[in-house]
Amino acid sequence: MAADTDAALTSGLRLLHAAASTQASRTDAIFLAMLLLCGTVAIVLLVLVVWFSLRYRRGRDVDRTPPRQMKGIELAWTVTPLLIFFGVFGWAARDYVTMADPPADALPVSVVARQWMWKLQHRSGRREINELHVPLGEPVVLTMTSQDVIHSFFIPAFRLKQDVLPGRYTRLWFTATQLGEFPLFCSEYCGSEHSQMTGRVVVMSPSDYGRWLASGPSEPGMAQYGFALFRQLGCSGCHDPRSTIHAPLLEGLYGRTVHLQDGRSRVADADYLRDSILVPAKDVVAGFAPVMPSFAGQVSEEDLQALIAYIQSTSARDTTP
Ligand code: CUA
């Protein structure tokens, strides 16, 4: 009973929402440090303003001769804040870079936003809507796109927010540190039902997560479905190693650097593969003719992600001994 009251009291007094990811505690630390730093500066200035205006008010008999040069003090109040704020910049930049660089072994989840719902799919093929189940303590990376307007994927308890844009992929990664359910929001105005584009993130123990993954309706894995599409859409007609048509081979392509006809080079990531399927004339591989037709309008966002998952899976096979 006493513990309940304590919990209620602390949650009532808590300034911030529960911090439930590794990034959340780092973001909170920066936020609190900035609050303390700026609060201290503001209070010092306020005290000085009040003190000087009382001390030097009209009619007071005080020494008003202007001080001579005080180089030491001027240097100190210029250089000290400069160094402190450079320090804060370095600290925040390090966290920002960490956020932009998901670990290689992170669990991939695909996200497609539309007016007004979140569609998510795990690599096993398991789909969910407005819900994201993740295992505790394991990094998860979301590859996100929108099939209509700009949305924004926002999990306050993880201190994470990322715009979800039509026509390209954005990524977000996190490691959950608390079991439980956390609210998910769309934080970019996306039309009349924007405020209802909400959901929840469910953090489960890894074994519960494994059971949850296995418990869904049986669906082909994303890579497997992608392979079926690869044949169905006719991609394999040209890109198969046995094909007589001169087209780049896609086995093990994912993550490699590709040299292009015009001298540029690009890393074959999800964005590159997406562009190659929808706008094939944009990045023509060196040594090949620009003969591939565009598949824009023929493949849904989900199908694109499945095709990319398939190409990615051939690289995974390639690198594992
Ligand atoms: Cu989607 Cu706001």
pTM score, whole prediction: 0.76
Which pLDDT value is given to residue 312? 85
* CB 250 within 8 Å of CB 311: yes
Please give the distance, rounded to the nearest whole angstrom, from the Cα atom of residue 246 to the centre of ligand 1. Answer: 43
In the predicted model, what is the mean pLDDT of residues 6-28?
A: 70
User: Can you tell me which atom of ligand 1 is nearest the CA of 197?
Assistant: 1
Express each pLDDT in 270-300 by its tens digit: 888 888 888 888 888 877 877 788 888 788 8
Calpha distance 233→304 (Å, rounded):
11
Q: Tell me the average pLDDT of the chain.
A: 85
CA of 120 to the centre of ligand 1 (A): 15
123-143 exposure pattern, b = at least 16 Cβ within 10 A, e = fewer: bbbbebeeebbbbbeebbbbb
Please tell me the distance from the alpha carbon of residue 171 to that of residue 178, in angstroms, as a whole number. 22
Backbone angles phi, psi at 62, to 5 degrees: -130, 165
CATH 1.10.10.10, applies to 222-313:
no
Residue with CA at minimum distance from ligand 1 atom 1: 151
Phi, psi of 34 (to 5 degrees): -65, -40
Whether 273 and 311 have beta carbons less than 8 Å apart is answered as yes
Residue 319: per-residue pLDDT: 43
CA of 193 to the centre of ligand 1 (A): 8
293 within 8 A of 212, measured Cβ to Cβ: no
**Domain covering 15-48+72-219 in this structure, CATH number:** 2.60.40.420
First to last CA, the chain: 56
Ligand 1 atom with the shortest distance to the CA of 164: 1
The per-residue pLDDT for range 138-190, each reduced to its tens digit, is 999 999 999 999 999 999 999 999 999 998 899 999 999 999 999 999 999 99
Pocket of ligand 1 (CB under 6 A): 116, 151, 186, 188-190, 194, 197
Question: Mean pLDDT over residues 103-127, rounded?
Answer: 90
Q: Under a CB-based contact definition with an 8 Å cutoff, are residues 77 and 45 in contact?
A: no
* Domain extent listing, the chain: 15-48+72-219, 222-313
Confidence bin at 9 (pLDDT 50/70/90) = very low
Ligand 1 atom nearest to CA at 113:
1
